[in-house]
Structure 1
């Protein structure tokens, strides 16, 4: 195929992916009450599962009620004419991206798989399943861990008793959307490292050498997306560091297979 033929093929894969996102987003748009009242505004309720679990854990380790969320001290408001409609649209699109992610990965795989050898396609058979599972685990992590910790801290933080926390709807929904999507993408780290190793940009030695730098970057990111307390940062940083170590193992396995294949070709 020529370069233009490849672009045409990519265009249709992108079009089908967009259609899937829009179809799911339309369903989410119609299910407005469930999406907003149950899912989106769930982490601001004191009886959210994460708060109950953290409250029990903090009591068990002697931190008293430091992680127990009391009644919310903030309200959510919309101060622009199109604020609620805009939040409705963007939230529906986000839901569309999240739910349609396996199909998006499927379209991506259909585009790149013709360029792989039959053995490579066979070895990568579980790519769509693994990538989807990692993404959804990351989404749940963002929704049940990153979002509640951020809301609990930012929603109760005050510089003065004279200042009231009345947050704009777009600010709240943006926080939830960013936490969920960012976590989902971060959990794709092993998949990304697999392909970077396959094309020769990353090696296990490289990942080990810069492990300390990766640790610092993860801690900085954790400090940015979570409240500035050590416990919250550790809760977010530990899974990402585990993913980094898994990426090293995956990179080792890829290199081992490549070397074995080269030896077989040489003989």
Structure 2
């Protein structure tokens, strides 16, 4: 067997392993979707998701569906999104299992904690958005609505808004993981990250202004946690670096 042939077989085996991991991740999401579809059900899940919006509307008001199949399709999309979020630990585990064979022992000490922390931080970001941000944003917006306007949000537009907001907060809460990875890979030092702290603060508010609605409440709710999580990453990065050093680096 030539070196070229061996390399091709190795590449193909990696593709097969990647396919298998993607299939397993998809099966995990599908199982979670099936469980949620049976209980509490797509309609109940959507009602829970819509609760912050309904609470800000006048008593007895409801959202509307302008599409023919929207009352069926939107709750199913919401259920799938929730299933994906709840399946993140399994999905990230499949990612870790795919790359783990090519890692050294000291590198594996870094990857597994990052897989777990990434899952928990993303879920925390989504939960923070739902439980803390949505209610205040909708109340803030409702307070500026003229009495001559009947506020009846469309469920598809509401879904797009909710998904984009949850995604923004979920990704934002990954800031400590990004900081740890940058420091551990030697791309930038903790000292340098501390030096550019003021730029990070400004950048956080710029990002918040772009990805959130044009109201002060949601912008502050995204920018302030981003700054605090950046500081958390600066505290944790040296700990992870020391814990994942190779024996030669420690010497």
- Mapped partners of 2:92, 2:198: distance in 1: 31
1:68-79 map, 5 Å: 71=58, 75-79=62-66
Shift of 1:146: 2.4
Paired position in structure 2 for 1:209 = 195
Distance of aligned partners of 1:233 and 1:264 in 2 relative to their CA distance in 1, 3 Å threshold: closer
SS in 2 for 1:126: helix
Paired position in structure 2 for 1:176 = 162
> Which one of the candidate residues 120, 140, 145 is aligned to 1:153?
140
Kept after mapping to 2: 8 A contact 1:187/1:243: yes
Paired position in structure 2 for 1:40 = 49
Shift of 1:228: 2.0
- Mapped partners of 2:176, 2:53: distance in 1: 32
Mean alpha-carbon deviation: is it higher for 183-192 or for 146-155? 146-155
Quick check: 1:117 aligned with 2:104?
A: yes
Paired position in structure 1 for 2:222 = 236
Quick check: 1:200 aligned with 2:186?
A: yes
Deviations 1:75-129 (A, max 9, x none): 4101111222221221111011111111011111111211211133245443343
Quick check: 1:12 aligned with 2:39?
A: no
Quick check: 1:2 aligned with 2:10?
A: yes
- Tell me the TM-score normalized by structure 2: 0.81
- Mapped partners of 1:83, 1:105: distance in 2: 31
Paired position in structure 1 for 2:123 = 136
Kept after mapping to 2: 8 A contact 1:74/1:167: no
Deviations 1:169-220 (A, max 9, x none): 1011222222223322221222232223333333223322332222112112
- Mapped partners of 2:18, 2:220: distance in 1: 40
Shift of 1:140: 1.0
Distance of aligned partners of 1:70 and 1:243 in 2 relative to their CA distance in 1, 3 Å threshold: same
* RMSD (Å), alpha carbons: 2.8
Distance of aligned partners of 1:198 and 1:77 in 2 relative to their CA distance in 1, 3 Å threshold: same
Kept after mapping to 2: 8 A contact 1:44/1:72: no
Paired position in structure 2 for 1:164 = 150
Kept after mapping to 2: 8 A contact 1:78/1:84: yes
- Tell me the TM-score normalized by structure 1: 0.77
Kept after mapping to 2: 8 A contact 1:77/1:169: yes
Distance of aligned partners of 1:154 and 1:170 in 2 relative to their CA distance in 1, 3 Å threshold: farther
SS in 1 for 2:24: helix
